[in-house]
Amino acid sequence: MVAEGKGVNKEGAKERISDSTSEFNSEDFFQKTYKESNVAEFFRRNLHMLGYAGPLKNLTTIVHEFVTNGLDACEEGNILPEIAVELESLGERDMVVSIQDNGTGIPESYIPKLLGKMLSGTKFHRYIQSRGQQGIGSVGAIMFAHITTGQPIKIITSTGNGTIVTAVMDIDVKKNEPIIYQMLKSKGKWRGTKIIAHYKDVLYQKSEQGVLEYLRRTAMANPHAKISLKEPDGNVIVFERSAKKIPPKPVEMQPHPLGISADDLRGLAINTEARKISTFLSTGLSRVSSGKAAEVEKLCSGLDFSADPKGMTHQQAERIVKAFKEVKFVSPSTEGLVPIGEERVEESLKNILKPNFYSVVTRAPSVFRGGIPFQVEVGLAYEGEAGRAVTIKEDGRTKSGKASEIMRFTNRVPLLFDAGGCAITTAVKSVEWKRYHITDFENSPITVIVNFISPHVPYTSAGKQALSEDEDIMAELRFALMDAGRKLKSHLAGVRREQMKQRRRDLFNKYIPEIARAVSKLSGTAEGTLKDKLQKLVSLRLKSKEFEEEEEAALEEDGQKGPEGDREKEEEEDE
């Protein structure tokens, strides 16, 4: 109960009642205006929150929703994914989109709600690294077909049991419930899901935020997937898999005691099958043995650990959570996390960006908010096809050039929108790239790839396009970027050194003939002999230790420390 004695300020009451509102009838007003709504209506009115904001973004969002579902369904069944996206133009901004996967398929009885009711699904409550998490996206994509064309969608799916189900269905937005128009079964040996839907207000464009780039990046982060796209003009683009092995399947985890609040603990207690608080703790949480549970019990003197966990009060949960913080637990299990892996990121980089230099870092798993495991991977690609092609204006003329490019991924899903509000962008921009021989980051031919994986990705909105700026996450992102930066630096330093030596060599060589001629005239020695001797001298000089040191100093100065340099150093040492 809240503190007492916080009653109404009676003194002010008289004054306040004396305005012009005696005619206002509250009952009447509420009767006329009160209404209940549902989550589908909410997102129907706030479509941009789901990623629908303009025809280009609309199409990318639709493809994104079904492709991530397809990849998740393959992962669930340990299947090498094969995703086929087909776009058929029916007119201006008018398109039939079909997306087929070879995943586990959807059992007949789950089709209606899974695709026709928001906040229903198989991932929402599971603590596992998956692409989809919220049970909103794919229903949103079906709703968007309904909104733009009023057409139902068609789903063909089979779990591989010999029966293929074809459903024609829609979502009743006013009720957030599915409407089934047709549900047919046929015999056939096939497994997977194909969704066919008709959209308006969609646009296919080969731009940075378009479908092709989305799929290209999806292929980069999922080198074991084969992804094809049939463009509206009939042209087919295939991203072949560069890795043939199925990556290990992410494992469903239990929450770690240091990652949960009192309210979380009560939420878990309500669903447990354990009959005692002690067994609930040791079976429902990660890293809590019965020994550790006993330690916690000791710290909560007076609290009966043989009581039914379902009856746990908030105060009791608070005491337990407080006790958690005093017990030493093993760090959260991270076996459930499956990074792309340095080797595969490398393959992807080489395969798709063909860079002259690159570096890849997969950091060790870490935790945020006390107990939610996550892991960061970074790839840096330099020159080759890395960087973003741009047009540069210089003295009134335009020429093509390269600018830096940031590719953001969460659980291997590319994020193409809302870059400005994303922790990954902030982290990349906060790094003092000069320290790693990238003197002008913005205008360098560099691609920075960041993949963030976690069973709970803290997105800033339901559109899942930006990572929230959590302190622990930010720190880890920066460490990963700096690690990769250091690796790249040694490559670049080698190149720079070579370039610098060559420049000096060229300079000396340019003057050797002149000097030889002059000295020859003075001394009478043959010009050719002098030239040879001078050239040998220069070569020796260029190899000498002294010279190397001069070069080092020049390079150091080049990658000079900015005002942030020291802070970064400190952070690295903190590590």
Q: How many CB atoms lie within 10 A of CB 118?
A: 28
Strands (E), 188-235: 191-200, 226-230
Q: DSSP letter at 353? A: I
Which of helix, strand or coil describes residue 208? coil
Q: Is the separation of the CB atoms in 280 and 310 below 8 Å?
A: no
Cβ contacts of residue 207 below 8 Å, gap of 6+?
56, 213
User: Any idea what DSSP says for residue 414?
Assistant: E
CA dihedral 485, 488, 493, 496 (to 10 degrees): -110
Q: Say how many CA atoms lie within 13 Å of 368 toward its Cβ.
A: 20
Q: Which residues, listed in sequence order, are joined to residue 338 by a DSSP beta bridge?
A: none
CB of 342 to a second copy, least distance (A): 25
Using the minimum distance from each CB to a second copy, give the nearer residue, 64 or 146.
146
Name the minimum Å distance from CB 345 to a second copy: 24
What token pair was written down for 398? 């335009």
For the CB of residue 440, give the shortest distance to a second copy in the complex, in Å.
Answer: 18
Q: Name which of 34 and 328 has its Cβ closer to a second copy.
A: 34
Q: Which is nearer to a second copy, 382 or 417 (CB)?
A: 417
- Residues 6+ away with beta carbon under 8 Å from 415: 408, 409, 422, 424, 464, 465, 466, 467
Min separation Cβ 223 and a second copy, Å: 17
> Scanning the structure block, which residue is given the tokens 């809240």?
2
Rounded Cα–Cα distance for residues 299 and 430 (Å): 43
**Whether 463 contacts 50, CB under 8 Å:** yes
Q: Which is nearer to a second copy, 135 or 355 (CB)?
A: 135
- Residue (121 or 445) nearer to a second copy, CB: 121
Residue 355's CB is within 10 A of a number of other CB atoms, namely 21
Smallest distance from a second copy to CB 247, Å = 13
- Tokens 């731009």 appear where? 207
Residue 455 Cβ vs a second copy, minimum distance, rounded to whole Å: 12
Q: Is 73 exposed, middle or buried (0-12, 13-18, 19+ CB in 10 A)?
A: buried
Whose Cβ is closer to a second copy: residue 315's or residue 539's?
315
CA distance 95 to 84: 16
Ramachandran assignment for 464, one of left (phi > 0), alpha (psi -120 to 50 degrees), beta (any other): left
Q: Output 81 or 379, the one with its CB closest to a second copy.
A: 81
Min separation Cβ 508 and a second copy, Å: 41
Contact 264, 138 (CB under 8 A): no
What is the Cα 518 distance to its own chain's centre? 66
Give the whole-angstrom CA distance, residue 495 versus residue 356. 11
Q: What is the closest distance, in whole angstroms, from the C-beta atom of residue 334 to a second copy in the complex? A: 21
Would you say 314 or 536 has its CB closer to a second copy? Answer: 314
Closer of 53 and 542 to a second copy (Cβ): 53
Q: How far is the CB of 382 from a second copy (least distance, A)?
A: 28
**Residue nearer to a second copy on the CB measure, 195 or 450:** 195
DSSP letter (8 states) at residue 183: E
**Shortest Cβ distance from residue 271 to a second copy (Å)?**
10
Measured from the CB atom, the residue of 26 and 398 that comes closer to a second copy is 26
Q: CA 440 to CA 149: how far, in whole Å?
A: 48
- Least distance to a second copy from the beta carbon of 156, Å? 5
